[in-house]
Each structure stands twice: as C-alpha cells, then as structure tokens.
Amino acid sequence: MSNKKEWPLFEIFIRSKNGLEHRHAGSLHAADPTMALENARDVYTRRQEGVSIWVVESKDIHASNPEQAGELFEPAKDKVYRHPTFYELPIELKHI
C-alpha cells in the first residue's frame, strides 16, 4: 500500500443549458480546483452535456444526517394547509 497522499475528492455540478440549475453529476479526484474543472469537462461533458461546471471539494460540503431525517422532515408531513388543495372553493370559480 502506497503511503502517498491521494488527490482530494471534488463534487461536480453541471448546468446542462442556460436557464437550468447546476445539478450534481458525480465526483472525481484532482490535485486542485483547476484540474478538477478540466477533468470534469473530459469526464462529464464529452457529449455536450453542459455549458457550465462547478467544482466543490467534497470535504467542504456539510450534509444533514440521515438519522435525523425524521425530526427534520417529518414535521412538514401533516401540514396539508400549505397546499392549495386544502382550500375548498366552488367549482364554477375560475382563475384561482
């Protein structure tokens, strides 16, 4: 096993065309952000899949803990009054 340091891991986000958001495409190792951008171009946009790339070092991403998913996301479950269908209006009403 080599003791050499590995290149850091980067997460890659691609905007497929203007007007759309950047979406997570995958990850790759690179020595620095410049190389990460160059490699992301070669790996993720070989067939015109993108017009813009973001790279973020994976260690800089803070993620919610799946074990806390219940307390984080369940409170929204019973709040049906946040949806338009909760409010009953006569059917003949238009444009609302």
Partner 1 sequence: MDNIENLATRFQERIDAGEKIEPKDWMPEKYRKTHIRQISQHAHSEIVGMLPEGNWITRAPSLKRKLGLLAKVQDEAGHGLYLYSAAETLGISRDEMTQQLLTGKAKYSSIFNYPTLTWADIGAIGWLVDGAAIINQVMLTRTSFGPYARAMVRICKEESFHQRQGYEIMLTLCNGTPEQKEMAQDALNRTWWPALMMFGPRDEDSPNTKQSMAWKIKRKTNDELRQQFVDITVPQAEFLGLKMPDPEIKWNEERGHYDFGAIDWDEFWQVVKGNGPCNKERIAARQKAWDDGQWVRDAALAYSAKKSENEEKSNGIKAQRSEGKIA
The DSSP secondary structure of 3-18, one letter per residue, reads -SPPPPEEEEEEE-ST
Residue written as tokens 């790996």?
A: 43
Kindly tell me which of 18 and 65 has the beta carbon lying closer to partner 1.
65
Cross-strand bridge partners of residue 12: 26, 55
Reduced DSSP (H G I as helix, E B as strand, rest coil) percent helix, strand, coil of the chain, to 5? 35, 20, 45
Kindly tell me which of 47 and 77 has the beta carbon lying closer to partner 1.
47
Residue ranges in contact with partner 1 by CB under 8 A:
1-2, 4-7, 9, 26-29, 31-32, 35, 43, 46-47, 63, 65-67
Kindly tell me which of 7 and 54 has the beta carbon lying closer to partner 1.
7
CB of 67 to partner 1, least distance (A): 7
CB of 45 to partner 1, least distance (A): 11
